[in-house]
Structure 1
Amino acid sequence: MVAPIYVAPMAPLAVVERRVDALGVAWLVYAGLILLTGAVGLTIARHALEGHEVWGPHHWHGPFFPLFFLKFGWFAVLGRTALAAAAGWGLLQKYSWARYAAIVAACLSLIHPPLGTAIGIWTLVVLLKGENAVGYQAMAG
């Protein structure tokens, strides 16, 4: 006896397309916010680590201390920005790889409250819900 196969129902493509387009725009806006806040934060950190009195005197001087952490910080900010922008652009263009990129970006953004957590949950709900997943595969196919 063969077990029955469950096939998820498909939401109307127009509804799925509106959800995915809104999500794509949100990821592009979030990518811009990541870049803006990261650049401001790293600029303030550079001034503080170089000995400028940003918020008062401190003792964080050292020959290699600021360089390593600032380079790592820029790498992290630019990597997060690129992933979020790729997810947003890919979702708007309905590429098949964009769904996976957005899910990875959503999982990574969950630890960045409040906006990262909100867009991460929204992305996971929209892209992992059965009817939306089937609809996206039909659009991207």
Structure 2
Amino acid sequence: MANYANRIRALSTVWFIYGGLSLVLGIVGLTVANSIFNGGGFWMHGPFSRNAFPFGPEFGSAIIHFAWIMVILRSGLAFVAGWGLMERAPWGRVVAIVAAFLCILKIPLGTALAIWTLVMLLGYRNTSLYDQL
């Protein structure tokens, strides 16, 4: 039982790390994308200069706003999954499974974390062990 509890604690720590890494890389990527779409930086005179986006600046701005929302939701879900597993809350297992299915296509880190989470939390034996924690 103590071995399984240590594995769940390690899994929750990795969810926290994944959430932080996802947030930092999302902020950096979206800052660069915002600079490209809005004509800032050294891209000012290139093919993506101001108002040169094929669908207009409003479409680029909408894409950036949607991407910001998705980065915040993905990182927030990872932090909530990590917190729920760390507290060993009954809802933490469900949130971690949902987060695992949502990040399974984020190759390679998201896929590895999703597989590890699903192996640790699914199945009759693991469900009963988690309920005993």
Normalised by the length of structure 1, the TM-score is 0.85
Counterpart of 2:23 in structure 1 is: 35
The aligned counterpart of 1:18 is: 6
- Structure 1: gaps of 5 or more residues: 1-12
State the structure with bigger RCO (CA 8 A, min sep 6), 1 or 2.
Answer: 1
User: How many residue pairs end up in the alignment?
Assistant: 127
Confirm whether residue 60 of structure 1 aligns to residue 47 of structure 2: no
Q: What's the TM-score, normalizing by structure 2? A: 0.89
- Does 1:47 pair with 2:40? no
The secondary structure found in structure 2 opposite 1:113 is: coil
2:64 aligns with 70
Displaced runs of 4 or more, over 3 A: none
Distance 2:121 2:45 in 1: 43
Give 1:55 deviation, angstroms.
10
Q: Secondary structure at the match of 1:39?
A: helix
Checking the alignment, whether the CA contact within 8 Å between 2:82 and 2:96 is kept in structure 1 is yes
Q: Cα distance, 1:19 vs. partner? A: 1.1
Query: Between the two proteins, what is the percent identity of the paired residues?
Result: 43
**Unpaired stretches in structure 2, ≥5 consecutive residues:** none
Match of 1:10 in 2: none
User: Are 1:89 and 2:88 counterparts?
Assistant: no
Find the aligned partners of 2:60 and 2:87 in 1 and give their Cα distance: 40
Does 1:127 find its partner at 2:127?
A: no
Q: Which moved more, 1:24-33 or 1:57-66?
A: 57-66
What RMSD over aligned residues (CA atoms) do the two structures have, in Å? Answer: 1.6
| Contact persistence 2:81–2:93 (CA under 8 A) | yes
State the shift of 1:16 in Å. 1.2
Question: Which amino acid in the other structure matches residue 89 of structure 2?
Answer: Y
